[in-house]
């Protein structure tokens, strides 16, 4: 394989992006245990919730209580939350989060349908949010959704996604998170956006957020790795569906990314079995089988079960 980075930072967005797209609300105590289990498994960046109006996203209406019960993040761990505006930021600051995320689409239609604002309007609304968050010492992430395809506008021109990502970076976001919201991108789409963006935003500040709706999330991750991207968003168990393709899958499953990266020799600090364990109570609470493939199938078989010596150089390995 051509040069791959030695390590990758995984942000588990299951508690936020995952649960936001699940029909069944999950009890607060299950969410809290979920976040703790993710951290115990080695995840260092968790997108815990969203401070939006409860009537807009009822699945995340308990954001304040979740953060209260979690308490401060352990050393080296960052708890993040989405904030749509200054009021959301107020709540996030009171809750003691370590990172806030603002978000805009790359396409007008999606932004209008999603938050009832133009892209320019969203960016203007974020300016004071980003400034206050930074002054308070929080990390700030800026999401660009529909960066590759939009359910209403079709293919998003790469220049358009790059333009919005740069605007977020120039506003002061510490990292820009480029999202394939509907899981329709393939590697050339990813390459086009990265080639436009990386001359202007340092690669260590770029995060890629792929949905696996059409099975392309991991090949897109590999394309990102080839461009030097070292931060990716995933969702434990593949939590979360796709509201634009009913019955389809959504987020890339954390276990699937970790399994691949383990095979590629790229370190994540995440223990696969601990991770699989984290998702099980959430699956039970949702009463639906989570789609994550490694979540379901487990690791590769470990080695000869027959007890014979293993000689990797032997032409034939016998079990006797």
Rounded to an integer, what distance in angstroms lies between the CA atom of residue 67 and that of residue 94? 10
Q: What x-and-dash track marks residues 183-212 binding a copy of itself by CB under 8 A?
A: xxxxxxx-x--------------------x
> Which of 134, 214, 227, 280 touches a copy of itself by CB under 8 A?
214
CB of 71 to a copy of itself, least distance (A): 34
* Minimum distance of a copy of itself from residue 167's CB (angstroms): 11
199's tokens: 């001359």
The pair of structure tokens assigned to 64 is: 């304040």
Chain centre distance of CA 288: 21
Q: Pattern 90-129, binding to a copy of itself, x per CB under 8 A?
A: -----------------xxx---------x----------
Question: Binders of a copy of itself among 263-282, rule CB under 8 A?
Answer: 263-265
What DSSP line would sit under 182-196, residue for residue?
Answer: TS---HHHHHHHHHH
DSSP assignment string, 247-296: T-B-BPBHHHHHHHHHHHT-B----HHHHHHHHHHHHHHHTS----HHHH
Comparing CB distances to a copy of itself, the nearer of 94 and 300 is 300
- Taken as a whole, the chain contains a residue count of 320
Query: Which of 23, 55, 302, 309 is close enough to bind a copy of itself by CB under 8 A?
Result: 302
In angstroms, the first-to-last Cα distance of the chain is 35
Shortest distance (Å) from residue 204 CB to a copy of itself: 23
Which is catalytic among the residues 173, 242, 306, 319? Answer: 242
Spatial separation of the C-alpha atoms in residues 239 and 286, rounded to whole Å? 10
Of 33, 56, 43, 71, which is closest to residue 113 (Cα–Cα)? Answer: 56
Contacts with a copy of itself in 56-75 (CB under 8 A)? Answer: none
151 lines the binding site for a copy of itself (CB under 8 A): yes
Tell me how far, at minimum, the Cβ of 299 lies from a copy of itself, in Å. Answer: 8
Among 39, 150, 231, 285, which residue sits at the site for a copy of itself (rule: CB under 8 A)?
A: 150
Q: Is 242 a catalytic residue?
A: yes
Residue closer to a copy of itself by CB (options 75, 302) is: 302
Distance CA 209, CA 106 (A): 14
Site for a copy of itself in 19-38 (CB under 8 A): none
243 binds a copy of itself (CB under 8 A): no
Question: Distance between CA atoms of 265 and 7, rounded to whole angstroms?
Answer: 9
Residues marked active site are found at: 242
């Amino acid at each position: 394989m051509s040069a791959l980075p030695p390590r990758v930072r995984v942000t588990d967005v299951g508690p936020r992006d995952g649960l936001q797209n699940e029909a069944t609300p999950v009890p607060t105590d299950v969410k809290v245990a979920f976040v703790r289990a993710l951290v115990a498994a080695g995840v260092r960046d968790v997108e815990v919730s969203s401070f939006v109006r409860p009537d807009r996203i009822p699945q995340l209406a308990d954001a304040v209580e979740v953060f209260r019960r979690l308490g401060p993040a352990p050393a080296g761990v960052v708890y993040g939350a989405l904030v749509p505006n200054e009021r959301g930021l107020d709540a996030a600051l009171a809750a003691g989060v370590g990172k806030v995320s603002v978000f805009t689409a790359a396409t007008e239609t999606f932004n209008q349908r999603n938050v009832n604002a133009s892209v320019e309007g969203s960016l203007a609304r974020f300016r004071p949010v980003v400034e206050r968050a930074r002054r308070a010492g929080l990390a700030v992430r800026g999401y660009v959704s529909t960066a590759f395809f939009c359910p209403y506008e079709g293919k998003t021109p790469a220049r358009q996604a790059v333009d919005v990502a740069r605007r977020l970076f120039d506003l002061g976001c510490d990292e820009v998170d480029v999202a394939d919201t509907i899981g329709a991108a393939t590697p050339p789409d990813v390459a086009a956006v990265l080639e436009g963006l990386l001359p202007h935003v340092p690669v260590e500040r770029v995060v890629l957020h792929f949905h696996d709706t059409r099975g392309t999330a991991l090949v897109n991750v590999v394309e990102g790795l080839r461009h030097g991207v070292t931060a990716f968003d995933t969702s434990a168990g593949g939590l979360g569906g796709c509201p634009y393709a009913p019955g389809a899958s959504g987020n890339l499953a954390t276990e699937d990314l970790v399994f691949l990266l383990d095979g590629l020799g790229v370190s994540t600090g995440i223990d696969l079995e601990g991770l699989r364990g984290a998702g099980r109570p959430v699956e039970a609470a949702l009463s639906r089988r989570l789609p994550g493939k490694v979540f379901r199938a487990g690791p590769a078989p470990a080695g000869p079960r027959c007890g014979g010596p293993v000689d990797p150089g032997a032409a034939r390995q016998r079990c006797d």
